A and B are shown apart, each in its own frame.
Chain A
Amino acid sequence: GAVVSQHPSRVICKSGTSVKIECRSLDFQATTMFWYRQFPKQSLMLMATSNEGSKATYEQGVEKDKFLINHASLTLSTLTVTSAHPEDSSFYICSAAPRQGRIGYTFGSGTRLTVV
């Protein structure tokens, strides 16, 4: 149980276009999901906390108009990178917060975004 599916696993897009990344909890309801960005050989940096039915909470320095987060249902959160530029190329990972009564977090498999 507690599987998080993230799609796509890889995406290449042209500069100026937008890309949507989906994060789905397959067998549980995730009221809170986290979006991380990981640069090569670096740690995970929290971008934002996504709460179902409300606005996401962005970390300092993360442009909310650039990285649009939607958490419209208890099983789906999306991250849209708008007007992508090469510097947005990175590995993006989502995570579902622990379910009630549990401690563990579940991570998606990640999305490698390359903007050319």
Chain B
Amino acid sequence: AQSVAQPEDQVNVAEGNPLTVKCTYSVSGNPYLFWYVQYPNRGLQFLLKYITGDNLVKGSYGFEAEFNKSQTSFHLKKPSALVSDSALYFCAVRDMNNNAGNMLTFGGGTRLMVKP
């Protein structure tokens, strides 16, 4: 079984400061990892993904995430937060094992609040 944990329901950060949204995962094999952002009453927008290769993944809108296999983590980061980054962020995982199917499992979501 695969699972994702986002330990923080909400993260508050001042505009211009760096932000981190935490994510840890559990899969039986190797993971595909994703971050999505959701604005109110909207679907999910893709930010970035880790498949293989470099552990530091750069994505949309200046976001990046670092895959840490030993800690089974994939924390989302941005060097300088914007008020417009305020939204709901979801981490998701899929097991690379072909027998596990192609279903995504989502974390509980973290609300990011960036204050001016």
Contacts and interface: CB of A to CB of B under 8 A. Distances in A.
A110 B44 CA distance: 8
A107 to B, nearest CB: 4
Interface of A: 6, 9-10, 32, 34, 41-44, 46, 49, 91, 93, 95, 97-98, 103-110, 112
B107 to A, nearest CB: 6
A105 B109 contact: no
Contacts of A93: 43-44
**Shortest Cβ-Cβ A-B pairs, 7 listed:** A109-B43, A107-B44, A110-B43, A107-B43, A43-B108, A44-B106, A43-B109
A104 B34 CA distance: 9
A36 to B, nearest CB: 8
A34 B104 contact: yes
A107 B39 CA distance: 13
Contacts of A108: 43
A10 B41 CA distance: 9
Contacts of B49: 103-104
B111 to A, nearest CB: 8
Given A10-B41, A44-B90, 11 more contacts: A6-B43, A32-B102, A42-B108, A93-B44, A103-B49, A104-B34, A105-B34, A105-B104, A106-B46, A109-B42, A110-B42
Interface string B73-105: 000000000000000001000000000001111
A48 to B, nearest CB: 11
